[in-house]
Amino acid sequence: MAEARRFVCAALGVTEEQAALDAPEVDVHTDGWLLRFAEGGLPLCEPYGVGVVFEGLRPVRVEDLSEAEEIED
């Protein structure tokens, strides 16, 4: 989780204090996994948080979830 936090901050050019990423959740898919910080102090984090896409154990991409559509149950 700490590595994902550092990855997001480096990609966005902010400090960990500015990002204030919290409430991590793991989403596993057939082709990989994503660590989503559901809360954060950046505009990018509204309303659904920000995701970090992993290949194995290595973070490879920040996923902007701000324009995602809500999934209904």
Ordered mean pLDDT values, 10 residues apiece, the chain (73 residues): 94 95 91 92 91 93 82 67
Note the pLDDT tens digit of each residue in 29-46. Answer: 887 899 999 999 999 899
CB atoms within 10 A of CB 59: 20
Answer for the pair 43, 11: CB distance below 8 angstroms, yes or no: no
What pLDDT score was predicted for residue 73? 63
Q: What pLDDT was estimated at residue 71?
A: 67
Q: What is the pTM of this model?
A: 0.85
Residue 11 confidence (pLDDT):
95
Using an 8 Å Cβ cutoff, are 51 and 36 in contact? yes
